[in-house]
């Protein structure tokens, strides 16, 4: 395993996983996300039952293969340093702008990452932090790449406070196909940068609201990888 100097080691909260900046060890999740096991079992069963029909079983096998690639959940390198904001999801940057943070009632820098159905859909903490508050809002299911999805779609938001007291808002947003947001943390929980905290099924988006003095490192249209791409640096 590649060695990294102590200056690049991650700083963590209570009972952290063994993490180095630049490499993640002991990723405690299967390579195929548990969230997808019922879909995989169902599609595999249908494919096997349809096999007797010969060619007509092909669509069922394609559905099974699609589910298999959709629910993959590989361990990832954790990039950056203590002030880095890492990508909370795989996908494409669709928004970089100054905007109102509707959860903390402030002006902020908004960075949004859109996940299509071919991206990994596990969501990871953008910073080492403590969860201050969580909000869930039921809503519509417009295409998650549209601006109105931030305020009108089903969404789950978290107020995260970094170790040096900076505020970050992280919002999971359901998309056109997605019908369920999964979020496994509650207020008071500690997260390390890049730690998996949730999942959104079948196409979605994650919005980040960052302090105005944050330096953004990405542009609209850029492809990013969860925890492996540094989106921005806190001042």
Q: What tens digit of pLDDT does each residue of 193-216 get?
A: 999 999 987 768 899 999 999 999
Positions annotated as catalytic residues are: 204
Asked if 149 and 218 sit in the same domain, the reply is yes
Residue-level pLDDT at 188: 94
Instruction: Give the CATH number, domain containing residue 199.
Output: 2.70.70
Neighbours of 43 (CB within 10 A): 20
Bridge-partner residues for 9, per DSSP?
20
Q: Which two tokens stand for residue 112?
A: 């949004």
Among 82, 90, 116, 96, which Cα is nearest to 217's? 96
The tally of domains found in the chain comes to 2
d(CA 200, CA 80): 25
Q: What is the pLDDT of residue 203?
A: 65
Residue 189 lies in a domain: yes
Pair (40, 88) in one structural domain: no
Range of the domain at 53: 34-70
Q: What is the pTM of this model?
A: 0.80
For 164-177, how does the pLDDT look when each residue is reduced to its tens digit (9 = 90+)? 999 999 999 987 76
């Amino acid at each position: 395993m590649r060695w990294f100097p102590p200056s690049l080691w991650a700083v963590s909260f209570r009972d952290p996983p063994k993490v180095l900046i630049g490499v993640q060890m002991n990723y405690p999740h299967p390579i195929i996300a548990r969230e997808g096991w019922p879909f995989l079992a169902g599609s595999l069963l249908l494919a096997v039952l349809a096999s007797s029909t010969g060619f007509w079983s092909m669509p069922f096998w394609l559905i099974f293969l699609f589910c298999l690639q959709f629910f993959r959940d590989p361990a990832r390198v954790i990039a950056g340093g203590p002030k880095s904001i890492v990508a909370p999801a795989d996908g494409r940057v669709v928004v970089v702008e100054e905007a109102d943070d509707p959860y903390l009632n402030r002006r902020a820098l908004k960075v949004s990452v859109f996940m299509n159905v071919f991206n990994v859909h596990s969501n990871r903490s953008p910073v080492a932090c403590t969860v201050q508050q969580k909000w869930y809002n039921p809503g519509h299911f417009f295409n998650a790449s549209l601006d109105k999805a931030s305020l009108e779609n089903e969404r789950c938001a978290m107020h995260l406070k970094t170790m040096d007291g900076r505020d970050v808002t992280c919002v999971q947003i359901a998309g056109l196909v997605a019908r369920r947001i999964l979020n496994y943390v509650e207020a008071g929980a500690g997260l390390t940068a890049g730690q998996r905290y949730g999942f959104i099924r079948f196409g979605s988006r994650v919005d980040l609201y960052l302090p105005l003095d944050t330096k953004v490192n990405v542009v609209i249209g850029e492809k990013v990888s969860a925890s492996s791409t540094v989106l921005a640096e806190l001042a």
